[in-house]
Structure 1
């Protein structure tokens, strides 16, 4: 079954302006931010992760192994990891969206299988730090009960995903990159941030031009019809904050999806449908064989787009996703249900 995974989030880019200040605050802290390297080395390096745990090292880590969705954001901001784990290549040999622009010829892909990690391959990279996402107390893509072995190789830092709004996630990932040595005034950072702000302005304009247009992101699979729950936060929560009309599902606020049968697929009226575009999920072409899908008003009207769930929390990637949603809203019209 094409079951949804824990996190959720589309494509196009734009032009950009300046990010002020040193992004060292919030959840991630670098001791000595803004001071000369010699003083920083004397003070050491500390990092308070998303669980509140503090990682302390004698100096700023240089050899970092990270979950692919984190590695891609760090890479965009100019910090190059030495190894990754998590989605990197698709079954067909293409690049998984979560790996972004990471040069796979220059990094070690330790594992792409959930719950597996070769401690020997990890140790061979001699990492200073390992970074992953965490959902409540579940370390994403790491072996259950295996973190002690990993932490015997290098300290483990975690970015909390549950209950953290998308715009805070964007800030936290940038703060992480800066803590690792990325320059907040680097054009790769300032341009990406301005690109994101411009995309949000496009979205606001599109929503204003299509008042009341009902949008629904789904993960339609052969056996079930999953509706993304905006109350769980993430990108959909951000879209709701910008006026996008999304269904109020009956799923608990902490659940990413409400699971429906195909006979219930019309439970929430939608003028624009966005289908889960993650690798391995049911494609729009495959859904054409499902009569209950073809009978939905948005599908009959041709108002269907892609939903790039699990877009990495980088400003450039989010700008593409937001800009794409704005274009889909602009191209859609309210429908009679």
Structure 2
């Protein structure tokens, strides 16, 4: 877990301003210690992280990463961030204007990290970025969804959010209630085979629950997901369309990220239509890359519970 080394909290409320000279220190998900003279106020963050922080009451001043979909709608990763009140630094992977970043005058920059990969930041530009403000990395690989949820809340608290606020308490309670609904659904459908995929006209990827994330959370609550042939560190196993039935599914979950092939588009693919779960109408959305906030996770857990309750075992 990311550790707050100096947590400047008042009794039962939001953290108080740091005493003069006390400073602010935080150890991020890569083990790097970030130290500042005082708690950062102006923060620029990757959109998915910014969304979680916003849900907990900490408002960033700038974002980079997915914000709008190709159709002009809001990308799910930006959540409830008020785009009229933040600077959008960049939406294109690997591209960022250092001048635009500096213009936001951040005290701290936050991104996700996949091992040594700084998500959405330009390759080779780390020194230029850190010349603007310290870079804090939230490690994704090898960290469970429940740990990520706790880490994002810890980070929000370190930045000044109130862990005892009604919004935080209600979000956590709703998440626990959603998990209870998932437990009830899986107990009522023991062994129901669920397969999460990212299917497109030219490829067919099966998600690997062993890699963790929300699928690991689902498996911990009784969802029967396949053991794929992919290494535990890989998010997917790539199959050909002719191998699409390698893992029999009673319920198929299709990657619902913006820009991915929709269920309507897949309806034109004969090999998709022939899958038993598709023929039975037992197909749902897989909301991968959901921001790690309890409010958002309550929604995706509850949706899965509903899909499982509505599904029946199929003959294969």
Q: TM-score range by the shorter chain?
A: over 0.9
Post-superposition Cα deviations, 1:26-63, rounded to whole Å, max 9, x if no partner, equal: 41305143258365443110010001111101110000
Q: 1:38 to 1:299 in 2, by over 3 A?
A: closer
Q: Which residue of 2 aligns with 1:27?
A: 2
Distance in 2 of aligned mates of 1:30 and 1:183: 17
Distance in 1 of aligned mates of 2:269 and 2:82: 39
Higher relative contact order (CA 8 A, sep 6+): 1
Q: Which residue of 1 aligns with 2:106?
A: 127
Distance in 2 of aligned mates of 1:264 and 1:283: 20
Distance in 2 of aligned mates of 1:166 and 1:211: 23
Q: Which residue of 2 aligns with 1:185?
A: 164
Q: Is the 1:30–1:179 Cα contact (8 Å) retained in structure 2?
A: no
TM-score, normalisation: structure 1 = 0.91
Is 1:288 aligned to residue 267 of structure 2?
Answer: yes
Q: 1:287 to 1:39 in 2, by over 3 A?
A: closer
Q: Is the 2:253–2:283 Cα contact (8 Å) retained in structure 1?
A: yes
Structure 1 spans left out of the alignment, 5+ residues: 1-25
Is 1:233 aligned to residue 212 of structure 2?
Answer: yes
Q: CA RMSD in A?
A: 1.0
Q: Which residue of 2 aligns with 1:202?
A: 181
Q: 1:41 to 1:198 in 2, by over 3 A?
A: farther
Distance in 1 of aligned mates of 2:208 and 2:195: 9
Q: Which residue of 1 aligns with 2:242?
A: 263
The alpha carbon displacement at 1:117 in A equals 1.1
Q: Is the 1:70–1:313 Cα contact (8 Å) retained in structure 2?
A: yes
Q: Is the 1:32–1:40 Cα contact (8 Å) retained in structure 2?
A: no
In structure 1, which of residues 135, 142, 159 is the aligned counterpart of residue 138 of structure 2? 159
Q: Is the 1:64–1:129 Cα contact (8 Å) retained in structure 2?
A: yes
Distance in 2 of aligned mates of 1:38 and 1:127: 18
Instruction: State how many pairs are aligned.
Output: 312
Structure 1 SS opposite 2:315: coil
Distance in 2 of aligned mates of 1:300 and 1:33: 56
The alpha carbon displacement at 1:212 in A equals 0.8
Q: How does 1:133-152 map to 2 (within 5 A)?
A: 133-152=112-131
The alpha carbon displacement at 1:80 in A equals 0.5
Q: Is the 2:241–2:271 Cα contact (8 Å) retained in structure 1?
A: yes
Q: Is the 2:255–2:285 Cα contact (8 Å) retained in structure 1?
A: yes
Q: Is the 1:31–1:40 Cα contact (8 Å) retained in structure 2?
A: no
Q: 1:181 to 1:301 in 2, by over 3 A?
A: same
Structure 2 SS opposite 1:159: strand
The farther-off stretch of 27-36 and 258-267 is 27-36
Q: 1:58 to 1:105 in 2, by over 3 A?
A: same
Structure 2 SS opposite 1:195: helix
